[in-house]
Amino acid sequence: MILNKLSLIMMFSGVLFVQAIGKNEITLNPDVNSVKFSELYQEMPATIKSFLAKYYPKATVVKYEAKSTVVGKKYEVKLNNGAEIDFDKNGNWEEISDKQGIASALIPAKIKAYLNQHYKGVKVESIDKERNKIKVDLQNDIDLEFDKNRKFLRVD
């Protein structure tokens, strides 16, 4: 009985250890203009750095996390303006959340056309590319779903 409990404790500890190994995280101070970035930040993929420079040039990274998953690395970035962006292993965005509104250039053209026709002037608060669909949350609390071809499916 004691051996079984000890085995369970060892197995649980091993699982926690494996999860801790696959996660790298850094938090940067948003109040400091010239931050000496750590080695981990320097390892941030160039595609993510380019994305941030293009779409969020005035924002500062306050948190960066690299996670190892079964399908490869995933990256999470939080900015001092409240925006949060998740990237896939290739540095392509998967989900963007920004209470101030997501830049129009980041919204796929077909979805943007639908929004201009049906929700003109309403900003997109979050967009999430999933395997077979794209979820779009608007600032007026309406949530929309589109298929992988960007065709409107339904109000969620």
Tell me the pLDDT tens digit for each residue of 139-153: 999 999 999 999 999
pLDDT digit string, tens, across residues 73-120: 899 999 999 999 999 999 999 999 999 999 999 999 999 999 999 999
pLDDT for the residue 31: 42
Average pLDDT over residues 9-29: 45
Region of residue 115 (phi > 0: left; psi between -120 and 50: alpha; otherwise: beta): alpha
- Is the CB of residue 54 less than 8 Å from the CB of residue 47? no
Q: What pTM did the predictor assign?
A: 0.73
CA separation for the pair 29, 84 (Å, rounded): 16
Rounded to 5°, angle at Cα 43 from 41 and 44: 70
pLDDT at 71: 78
Which comes out higher in pLDDT, residue 25 or 65? 65
